[in-house]
């Protein structure tokens, strides 16, 4: 089993339930972990035989551009794109953290996590 991961990919986006959140925007951190069984031996040294974390990053970029009310929806959209592109993955974990969410007190971040496990 091989794992690729992106940790702390930072985006400025317009996700939020309240209209002002969708106007003002907010900073988000995205963590993505993908487990898969390599299609060839590592000695093959070919990018086309692995999960390309650069492509995974661009999938996250594209989904973060689409304003949504719930970050759960964004996380699921990222996960779904990874599954479609790499059907041989065994598991995917996508966590999105909303930095300084608009709450009454100081909160570093709120977060959601979606998971996929092939069974």
Catalytic residues: 98
pLDDT at 90 over 70: yes
- pLDDT, one tens digit per residue, over 31-78 is 999 999 887 766 567 777 789 999 999 999 999 999 999 999 999 999
Q: Identify the helix (H) or strand (E) that includes residue 111.
A: strand 109-117
Q: How far is CA 71 from the centre of its chain?
A: 10
Mean pLDDT of the chain: 92
Question: Which distant-in-sequence residues (6+ apart) come within 8 Å of 28 by Cβ?
Answer: 10, 11, 12, 13, 15, 64, 71, 96, 97, 98, 99
By C-alpha distance, which of 45, 39, 21, 46 is closest to 98? 21
By C-alpha distance, which of 52, 57, 47 is closest to 6? 57
What are 17's two structure tokens? 């339930």
**In whole angstroms, what is the distance from residue 78 CA to residue 76 CA?**
5
**In whole angstroms, what is the distance from residue 1 CA to residue 72 CA?**
27
pTM attached to this predicted model: 0.91
**DSSP for residue 88:** T
What are 10's two structure tokens? 């930072």
What domain range includes position 93?
Answer: 2-117
| CATH number of the domain that residue 77 is part of | 3.30.1130.10
The proportion of the chain whose per-residue pLDDT surpasses 90, expressed as a percent, equals 75
Number of independent structural domains in the chain: 1
């Amino acid at each position: 089993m091989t794992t690729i991961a992106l940790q702390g990919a930072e985006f400025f986006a317009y996700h939020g339930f309240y209209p002002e959140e969708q106007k003002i925007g907010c900073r988000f951190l995205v963590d993505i972990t993908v487990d898969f069984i390599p299609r060839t031996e590592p000695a093959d040294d070919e990018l086309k035989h692995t999960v390309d974390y650069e492509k995974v990053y661009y999938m996250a970029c594209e989904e973060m551009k689409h304003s949504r009310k719930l970050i759960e929806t964004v996380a699921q959209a990222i996960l779904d794109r990874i599954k479609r592109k790499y059907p041989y993955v065994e598991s995917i974990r996508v966590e999105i953290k909303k930095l300084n969410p608009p709450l009454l007190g100081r909160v570093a971040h709120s977060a959601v996590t979606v998971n996929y496990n092939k069974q």
